[in-house]
Amino acid sequence: MKVLVINGSPRADQCTATALEEMMKTLQAEGVETELVHVGKTNIRGCISCNYCRKHGRCMFKDIVNETAQKFEEADGIIVGSPVYFSSPNGTLLSFLDRLFYSTSFSKHMKVGAAVVSCRRGGATASFDVLNKYFTISGMTVAGSTYWNQVHGFTAEDVKKDLEGLQTMRNLARNMAFLMKAIADAKEKYGLPKQELEAFTSFPDGK
Ligand SMILES: Cc1cc2nc3c(=O)[nH]c(=O)nc-3n(C[C@H](O)[C@H](O)[C@H](O)COP(=O)(O)O)c2cc1C
């Protein structure tokens, strides 16, 4: 079992990192391997809708998105962590996720996703909702916890004092490990559920 961990914050060792670290420790204790990719300080441009990826199976911009794609394909689950910027995930992370999810054609069906957000005071659930949508449109399963997956603070020290936030991260990691193991077993027993992909309707008349 392997989980890819994305830190969208430009601050590699502060609040989001503290929450992710708590999850990684717990996952490792559950026998799950983790790999951390820090994207927040990288120069990542947004998707330009050129559809190069439709032909080539990768984004035309040769950067961390394509480098991460293979790691995502091999992973059983993904954790995406973000600081809250004006009640949304931070912009660099959104550019990264738009291009990662749009440019990759490998199946994400029944991979397990978990979104984690860090804010000083507000905007956590709005940001959490945005991140979960990358998972649910991709046929993934979303792991839950004992509260919404958020921590609070302006520094790593603040987050270390957010005991409920860290508890939420540990419970989330355990639920994620359980789901990945259960899905692997169920895949062997039943196979993956059928997915119909033929219809692609953009207009009410179906054309
Ligand atoms: C541009 C910017 C916008 C922010 N907007 C919010 C916000 O809307 N709500 C909030 O509670 N904190 C906001 N913050 C604070 C950070 O979200 C918060 O301190 C977070 O825990 C930092 O995580 P990090 O240390 O991983 O970067 C903002 C910070 C920045 C730099």
Written as six digits, the tokens of 145 are 């916890």
Counting atoms of ligand 1 from 1, which one is nearest the CA of 17? 26
Written as six digits, the tokens of 101 are 């999810």
Counting atoms of ligand 1 from 1, which one is nearest the CA of 120? 11
pLDDT band at 207 (very low <50, low <70, confident <90, very high): low
Percentage of the chain lying above the pLDDT 70 cut = 99
Counting atoms of ligand 1 from 1, which one is nearest the CA of 7? 26
Place of tokens 């440019």: 103
- Looking at residues 21-30, what average pLDDT do you find? 98
Nearest-CA neighbor of 102 among 66, 63, 144?
A: 66
Ligand 1 pocket list (CB less than 6 A): 9, 11, 14-17, 83-87, 118-123, 153-154
Q: Specify the pLDDT at position 204.
A: 75
Cβ atoms of residues 4 and 72 within 8 Å: yes
Count of other CB atoms within 10 angstroms of residue 107? 13
- Looking at residues 25-53, what average pLDDT do you find? 98
**pLDDT > 90? residue 202:** no
Separate counts of helices (H) and strands (E) for the chain = 7, 7
pLDDT band at 23 (very low <50, low <70, confident <90, very high): very high
**pLDDT > 70? residue 185:** yes
The string of pLDDT tens digits covering residues 64-99 is 999 999 999 999 999 999 999 999 999 999 999 999
The pTM of the full predicted model, rounded to 2 decimals, is 0.97
Query: Which H or E run contains 145?
Result: none
Q: Specify the pLDDT at position 132.
A: 98
**pLDDT > 90? residue 206:** no
